[in-house]
Amino acid sequence: MRNRTYEKIIQYVSLTMIVAAGGIIGALPLISSSSAEVRTVISESDMLRAAFAQKISQICEIDTIDTKERPWQYIVIHHSASEKGNATRFDTYHREKKGWKYGLAYHFVIGNGTLSGDGEIEVGNRWKNQIHGAHTANMDCNQVAIGICLVGDFENGGKPSEDQFDSLVRLTRYLSSKYDIPLSNIILHSQVHQKGTACPGKNFPMAEFKTSLIQFASNEISPSRKS
Ligand SMILES: [Zn+2]
């Protein structure tokens, strides 16, 4: 499953990145044969991690250099409480049924393979233009909380797919690192101080999510390189 995810993300990676990575691979034998002292090893997982990181950073680019970044302090995880969905569908619902002029309440939507790709990260207008969210009933929280919604109903039998979970970990890690958001401020919608909600459902694996974030961060700090 893990390899399948890598293959998929690799397809997203720009040609430049592939050429650059190819250059690294091509250069390796030369490095090791020209000098016995130099034993730089760039593993496949290092390159994949770099490719993912570049892709996530491209996804998270905001609209223009004039757009002022908000002082994000929290990341709130949601499920859509529906079997199917994508950013466009939720945007229409929030605009037309809820009457929210900025539309899509969340900043990011991660697909489950129904109306968008499995693990595909869609970016909302509120992120591109650094607009507050509308994803909780706590307006103070909405001002400073990045909203990420996973398509699916994790309260009634469903659970995040492996690819969705993987994308969520990578996106959350990127955002928490960029905005200095501590692990304690990465929370579920049900943990926000507001009227009770089950979101993102009892089947969302919060403990596994936090463990994965910690592991992911430690891999970044000590990448598998030998010298
Ligand atoms: Zn929610």
Q: What is the pLDDT of residues 84-131, one digit of tens each?
A: 999 999 999 999 999 999 999 999 999 999 999 999 999 999 999 999
From ligand 1's centre to the CA of 224, what distance in Å? 37
Question: Residue 86: what pLDDT?
Answer: 98
From ligand 1's centre to the CA of 136, what distance in Å? 7
Segment among 60-64, 90-94, 108-112, 150-154 with least mean pLDDT: 60-64
Work out whether the CA dihedral 192, 197, 203, 204 comes out positive or negative.
Answer: negative
Question: Residue 88: what pLDDT?
Answer: 98
> What does pTM read for this prediction?
0.80
From ligand 1's centre to the CA of 115, what distance in Å? 19
Maximum alpha-carbon separation in the chain: 67
Please, are residues 188 and 204 in contact by the beta-carbon 8 Å criterion? yes
DSSP assignment of 156-210 equals TT----HHHHHHHHHHHHHHHHHTT--GGGEEEGGGSSSS---TT-TTS-HHHHH
From ligand 1's centre to the CA of 106, what distance in Å? 9
Distance from C-alpha of 199 to C-alpha of 78, rounded to nearest angstrom: 6
> How many angstroms separate the Cα of 203 from the Cα of each of 78, 84, 92?
12, 17, 27
From ligand 1's centre to the CA of 102, what distance in Å? 17
Q: Where residue 56 falls among pLDDT bands split at 50, 70, 90?
A: very high
Question: Residue 131: what pLDDT?
Answer: 96
From ligand 1's centre to the CA of 199, what distance in Å? 5
Question: Residue 222: what pLDDT?
Answer: 57
The pLDDT tens digits of the residues spanning 156-173 come to 999 999 999 999 999 999
Query: Tokens standing for 184?
Result: 């304690």
Question: Residue 26: what pLDDT?
Answer: 40
From ligand 1's centre to the CA of 201, what distance in Å? 9
The secondary structure of the chain in percent helix, strand, coil, rounded to multiples of 5, reads 45, 10, 40
The pLDDT tens digits of the residues spanning 178-227 come to 999 999 999 999 999 988 999 999 999 999 999 999 998 888 765 554 44
Q: Which residue bears the tokens 């492996």?
A: 162
From ligand 1's centre to the CA of 16, what distance in Å? 38
Residue 72: Cβ-neighbour burial (10 angstroms; 0-12, 13-18, 19+) = buried
From ligand 1's centre to the CA of 77, what distance in Å? 7
Residue 2 has pLDDT above 60, yes or no: no
- Please, what is the average pLDDT of the chain? 84
Residue 6 has pLDDT above 80, yes or no: no
Segment among 27-31, 54-58, 78-82 with least mean pLDDT: 27-31
Please report, for the chain, how many H helices and E strands are present, in that order. 8, 5
